[in-house]
Amino acid sequence: MLFFAQQHGNEQSGKEGVLLLAKTLLKPEYAYLFNKIDLVLIPQVNPDGSELNKRRNANNADLNRNHLIMTEPETKAIHKLFDKYLFEVTVDVHEYSPYGDDWKKYGYRKNTDVTLGSTTNINIPEKIRKYSDSLVLPFVLKRLKEKGFSSFVYCPGGPPDSAYIRHSTFDINDGRQSLGIQNTLSFIQEGMNGIDTYKENIRHRAEGQMNGMLAMLEFIHANKTKIKKLIKNERKSLLSGLKNGKTSVQMIHTGNGKKLTLPLRSYFTGNDTIVLVDDYRPVVKSLTEVINPIGYLIPKSDKNLLGWMKSIDLKYETFKPGKNIKIEEYLVQLVDSTDFEGDTVIDPDLTSRYYDNLSFTDYYYIPVDQFKGKMIIQALEPKSMIGLATYRQFAYLVKEGTAFPVLRIIRTKN
Ligand SMILES: [Zn+2]
């Protein structure tokens, strides 16, 4: 298991909670956990931000939006550690701030001590998402309440009169989803930020975070065999399944006919209340899928892409063409746009042309049968609403009237 905290430097209780956890775990009554669990703690991912009590790191990057383009030393370090141990369970520890102007205007704000969320990207196997949502989350949230901390399932966004409520983005550029997409049981825990992020209620906030992590350890310990098996099987099928399956590259949040009962606190009376959220969209649906290639060809002349490939530590090789393959090249006919969780992202119209042969020495080959396979596909497909081409640094990849420089290798026969 891996707990990592304070990617955002102004979320002090994550770090304090992990340090408190380290101290607590030294007590004899918790020794039993280590009969079954190997645990790694990173209390402070972003020390520079913490020093200034700022969200971003010293390079002014939001680390929790950096897990796909991976330009920052802090995110690279997390993934290097993950790649080494291939943790089966990970928890990314944060704080949420309930004090925004939009909430003030609404008249109510969130007031939950600790929230916990799991993965939502639809390319993460349903078995993993279901296990997280129906077993892990309820256990931890209940245990928190028993220890005197209010708890609720992670649902960022709002207020409910101006925005729909969902259980987070399905983007894979954050800590939780970028590890989850490698078929990991992966979570985000958020404590409530104080108005003074250093001082206000810091003991209570740190203890809430610590108790959430402790409950997670308790659950994982009790269900270790089942979890090991689940992750082992899903990671195995991640590698074998990619050759034939499909990957969703455009998704949407939808409702399921249910309303959400959201606990809030009145800004004016200080009383707790509940609000029935009409526009509640807990379900992620796929809009567009691509047939998985067996791998991609990256032009050696594109230093930008090579830099990305290396910083994300992908397996790559020189392509050895065998029989029964086709090389697919996308032609960008038109660059339209689409809405992605309130932002506008590119949505190109594509046609394909095929080659039987090519000068393979001009390319590196990235096979998709690796743990990051689903991440690779979502990063490298030009129609992906969370792909590389939606980032400023890679916007040049999709240009109207030109060929997309990354090529797909497709198997024509199994
Ligand atoms: Zn955060």
Q: How far is the CA of 15 from the centre of ligand 1 (A)?
A: 12
Q: What CATH number does the domain containing 66 carry?
A: 3.40.630.10
Same domain flag for 301 and 229: no
What is the Cα–Cα distance from 43 to 21, expressed in whole angstroms?
Answer: 10
What does the pLDDT read at residue 321? 82
Per-residue pLDDT tens digits for 286-320: 999 999 999 999 999 999 999 999 999 999 999 98
Per-residue pLDDT tens digits for 28-68: 999 999 999 999 999 999 999 999 999 999 999 999 999 99
Expressed as residue numbers, the domain containing 343 is: 293-411
Q: How many helices (H) and strands (E) does the chain have?
A: 11, 16
Q: How far is the CA of 177 from the centre of ligand 1 (A)?
A: 14
* Paired tokens of 379: 């990063």
Q: How far is the CA of 189 from the centre of ligand 1 (A)?
A: 9
pLDDT exceeds 80 at position 280: yes
Same domain flag for 166 and 95: yes
The verdict on residue 366 lying in a domain is: yes
Q: How far is the CA of 76 from the centre of ligand 1 (A)?
A: 18
The verdict on residue 167 lying in a domain is: yes
Per-residue pLDDT tens digits for 383-409: 999 999 999 999 999 999 999 999 999
What does the pLDDT read at residue 197? 82
Q: How far is the CA of 395 from the centre of ligand 1 (A)?
A: 26
Domain boundary among 212, 246, 280: 246
Q: How far is the CA of 93 from the centre of ligand 1 (A)?
A: 7
Q: How far is the CA of 381 from the centre of ligand 1 (A)?
A: 28
Same domain flag for 219 and 298: no
What does the pLDDT read at residue 338? 93
Same domain flag for 202 and 106: yes
What is the Cα–Cα distance from 137 to 143, expressed in whole angstroms?
Answer: 10
Q: How far is the CA of 96 from the centre of ligand 1 (A)?
A: 6
Q: How far is the CA of 17 from the centre of ligand 1 (A)?
A: 14
Per-residue pLDDT tens digits for 320-378: 887 889 999 999 999 999 999 889 999 999 999 999 888 999 999 999 999 999 999 99
Q: How far is the CA of 46 from the centre of ligand 1 (A)?
A: 11
Helix, strand, coil shares, percent, the chain, to 5: 35, 25, 40
Same domain flag for 305 and 233: no
Same domain flag for 340 and 219: no
More confident residue, 161 or 133: 133
What does the pLDDT read at residue 138? 98
Q: How far is the CA of 1 from the centre of ligand 1 (A)?
A: 20
Same domain flag for 119 and 194: yes
**What's the DSSP call for residue 129?**
H
Cβ neighbours of 62 (radius 10 Å): 16
Report how many domains make up the chain: 2
Question: Would you place residue 414 in the very low, low, confident or very high pLDDT band (cuts 50, 70, 90)?
Answer: low
Q: How far is the CA of 191 from the centre of ligand 1 (A)?
A: 9
The average pLDDT across 160-189 equals 95
pTM for this structure? 0.96
Q: How far is the CA of 86 from the centre of ligand 1 (A)?
A: 23
What does the pLDDT read at residue 243? 76
Per-residue pLDDT tens digits for 195-253: 888 889 999 999 999 999 999 999 999 999 999 999 999 999 998 878 779 999 999 99
What is the Cα–Cα distance from 243 to 292, expressed in whole angstroms?
Answer: 6
CB under 8 Å to 365, separation ≥6 — which residues? 295, 296, 297, 298, 316, 317, 318, 319, 409
**What's the DSSP call for residue 43?**
S
Q: How far is the CA of 315 from the centre of ligand 1 (A)?
A: 30
Q: How far is the CA of 192 from the centre of ligand 1 (A)?
A: 10
pLDDT exceeds 90 at position 16: yes
For the chain, state the CA radius of gyration: 22
* Residue 208 · residue 191 · CB < 8 Å: yes
Q: How far is the CA of 41 from the centre of ligand 1 (A)?
A: 17
What does the pLDDT read at residue 163? 87
What is the Cα–Cα distance from 105 to 163, expressed in whole angstroms?
Answer: 14
229 CB burial (10 A radius; 0-12, 13-18, 19+): exposed
Question: Would you place residue 27 in the very low, low, confident or very high pLDDT band (cuts 50, 70, 90)?
Answer: very high
The verdict on residue 263 lying in a domain is: no
The verdict on residue 382 lying in a domain is: yes
The average pLDDT across 128-137 equals 98
Same domain flag for 242 and 309: no
The verdict on residue 40 lying in a domain is: yes
Tokens 């340090």 correspond to 19
Q: How far is the CA of 338 from the centre of ligand 1 (A)?
A: 27
The verdict on residue 372 lying in a domain is: yes
The verdict on residue 152 lying in a domain is: yes
Q: How far is the CA of 202 from the centre of ligand 1 (A)?
A: 16
What does the pLDDT read at residue 77? 98
37 CB burial (10 A radius; 0-12, 13-18, 19+): middle
What is the Cα–Cα distance from 191 to 115, expressed in whole angstroms?
Answer: 6
What does the pLDDT read at residue 242? 82
pLDDT exceeds 70 at position 276: yes
What does the pLDDT read at residue 157? 83
Q: How far is the CA of 37 from the centre of ligand 1 (A)?
A: 26
Query: Which segment of 88-97, 159-168, 217-226 scores lowest on mean pLDDT?
Result: 159-168
What does the pLDDT read at residue 76? 98
